[in-house]
Chain A
Amino acid sequence: MSKTIGVIVFPGSNCDHDAYHALKHVMGAETRFLWHKDNDLSGIDLLVIPGGFSYGDYLRSGAIARFSPIMQEVIQYSKQGKPVLGICNGFQILLEAGLLPGAMLYNEKLRFVCKNVYIRLENEDTLFTRGLEKGELLDIPVSHGEGNYFIDRDGLRELQDQNRIVFRYCNSEGFISAESNVNGSVDSIAGICNPTGNILGMMPHPERAVEPLLGSTDGKKIFEAVLDNLAVA
């Protein structure tokens, strides 16, 4: 049965159409937009919270979006084990909503970073990564000013012990160092999941790497994996 994907649109979202294009036209999946004031997620098999600057990043990135009516539904939806993918500002919103732990600081070097980076797959056992290989490198762009992931020492240990770090920034050889860490994130973290692996937050933009014209098609691998995993679920 074909799966339906919902892309949430907040005031200030600006990667919503990219995500829609990637899922609908490139992946060929049934996709629709969901306005942030909607409160009906019935029939949605995968939720995408796209990047952008919801509410102008006022106060803190994602802090106001958390109070949009749809977020209460997203919390209920995720509790049922259904998949939620937060990309960039979507990741920030998931952090502010408490669906994932930690917070985002300004990039260590204070610059908005917009470039292709390599990320290494650390956990191949989530709904979004099953089918990919552990250690696999993905060439995917980042585009953010506040992507410096922070969590305290105990929180980090928990993420590590529970294998919830899904992606880490690395170089083209797959090595992780201070230089390959584009924004200063704790432990080079680029993406994490919740304990049950159905909520993934990531700073890189897979929807911007789905066609050869865009310079990389590696982002497509994540969408393929999640759609395949949903099909067999």
Chain B
Amino acid sequence: MYKAKIHVTLRKSILDPKGKATHQALQNLGLNQINNVRIGKLIELDIHADSEDNARELAETACNQLLANEVMEDYQIEISDNSS
């Protein structure tokens, strides 16, 4: 059993209004060393696969076809072995 952690974020070139508003609030808190905030989502998948490569391939397919919209989003996949 593998676990895929998928981070979906808005593409760098796209303004992230939620991140911007949150950044403003952090500045209001006095946390002025924070220069930028980007907000995305974390999706976790439990995958039955016989190898890490297969698990990654499956997660890729899930991202391409549904989990991320590549018009506006990027994604990163982290795979870990959960069988223990």
- Asked whether, in the complex, the Cβ of A63 is within 8 Å of the Cβ of B21, the reply is no
With A and B bound together, what is the CA distance between A59 and B17 in angstroms?
18
**How would residues 70 to 114 of chain A score, 1 for a CB under 8 Å from any chain B CB and 0 otherwise?**
000000000000000000000000011000011101111110000
Option from B14, B18, B21, B67 in Cβ contact (under 8 Å) with A150: B14
Q: Does A60 contact B (CB under 8 A)?
A: yes
Assembly CA distance A105 to B14 (angstroms)? 9
Query: A105 contacts which of B21, B66, B72 (Cβ < 8 Å)?
Result: B72
Contact B69 A96 (CB under 8 A): yes
Contact with A along B18-29 (1 / 0, CB 8 A): 100100000000
**Closest chain B residue to A62, Cβ basis:** B69
Min CB gap A94→B, angstroms: 13
Instruction: Tell me if B15 counts as interface (CB < 8 A to partner A).
Output: yes
Given A59-B66, A63-B66, A110-B71 contact (CB < 8 Å): no
A106 touches B66 (CB 8 A): no
Q: Shortest CB–CB separation between residue A218 and chain B, in angstroms?
A: 30
Partner of A103, one of B18, B66, B71: B71
Q: Specify which of A59, A106, A108, A151 is in contact with B71 (CB 8 Å cutoff).
A: A151
**Closest partner residue, chain A, to B20 (CB atom):** A110
Known contacts A108-B17, A109-B17, A110-B17; is-contact A102 B67 (Cβ 8 Å): no
Q: Kindly list chain A residues whose C-beta atoms are within 8 Å of the C-beta of B14.
A: 105, 150
B72 contact set on A, CB distance < 8 A: 103, 105, 150
Among A59, A101, A110, A151, contact of B67 (Cβ-Cβ < 8 Å)? A59
The binding surface of chain A is classed by DSSP as loop
- B69 to chain A: which residues have CB within 8 Å? 60, 63, 96, 103
Can you list, as one digit per residue, whether each of A53-65 has a CB less than 8 Å from chain B (1) or not (0)? 0000001100100
In the bound complex, residues from chain A placing their C-beta under 8 Å from that of B67 are 59
- A103 cross-chain contacts in B, Cβ below 8 A: 69, 71-72
Interchain CA distance A105-B10 in the complex, whole Å? 9
Please name all residues of chain B whose beta carbon is closer than 8 Å to the beta carbon of A60 when the two chains form the complex: 69
Q: Which residues of A contact B (CB under 8 A)?
A: 59-60, 63, 67, 95-96, 101-103, 105-110, 150-152
Beyond contacts A59-B67, A63-B66: 12 other A-B pairs, Cβ-Cβ < 8 A, are A63-B69, A95-B71, A96-B69, A103-B71, A105-B10, A105-B17, A108-B17, A109-B17, A110-B18, A150-B71, A151-B71, A152-B71
The 7 A-B residue pairs with the shortest CB-CB distance, nearest first, are A103-B71, A103-B72, A110-B17, A103-B69, A106-B17, A150-B72, A108-B17
B residues with CB within 8 A of A = 10, 14-15, 17-18, 21, 66-67, 69, 71-72
